[in-house]
Amino acid sequence: MSFGKARWNVRFSGWGFNGMLTFAIVAVLATMVLALIRNLFGPTEYDRMLAANSFGTKTVLLIALGGYALSWNSFLDVALLYALLNFVGTIAAMRFFEYGRSSDESEESEESEGPGEPGDRQNLNPQNVDPQNLSRSESSL
């Protein structure tokens, strides 16, 4: 990264708190590593979704701060783009996570999709909560 260091010095010369930006970037990187660990070891899938969302938000910060420090070209466009895409990815994960189970169940009475679904009930939720009762109680809320 010697080429990167040469550009680094351009931004940092002659400031009072010239270590602050570096400290902030290092802190954001450390948080990204922590979120990655949670992504690998999260016991449930919801933890992994949360960790991926956190990772994405920290990435926006990293691109914004790092791009300013390293004088990248049009870095704010990429940061803005990534903030949007992180959101879309999180919503997609939530939508597809249940593998359309709740929407397939609501269609069962109309289409009679048959016994195709019991296979995924076992390996989805380690909690073994009955989803029918849950959705009914949720709708009564």
Interface residues for other proteins in 119-138 (CB under 8 A)? 119-120, 123-125, 127, 129, 131, 134-135, 138
CB 124 within 8 A of CB 99: yes
Among 94, 108, 121, 136, binds other proteins (CB under 8 A): 94
The rounded distance, in Å, linking the Cα atoms of 125 and 121 is: 7
The rounded distance, in Å, linking the Cα atoms of 1 and 65 is: 17
Among 2, 111, 112, 140, binds other proteins (CB under 8 A): 111
9: contact with other proteins by CB under 8 A: no
What mask, x for binding other proteins by CB under 8 A, covers residues 50 to 89? xxxxxxxxxxxxxxxxxxx-x-xxxxxxxxxxxxxxxxxx
The rounded distance, in Å, linking the Cα atoms of 129 and 124 is: 11
CB of 114 to other proteins, least distance (A): 8
* CB-count exposure of residue 101 (10 Å: 0-12, 13-18, 19+): middle
CB of 140 to other proteins, least distance (A): 13
Helices (H), the chain: 2-12, 20-41, 45-69, 75-97, 101-111, 118-124, 131-140
Among 2, 5, 8, 107, binds other proteins (CB under 8 A): 107
What mask, x for binding other proteins by CB under 8 A, covers residues 20 to 39? xx-xx-xxx-xxx-xxxxxx
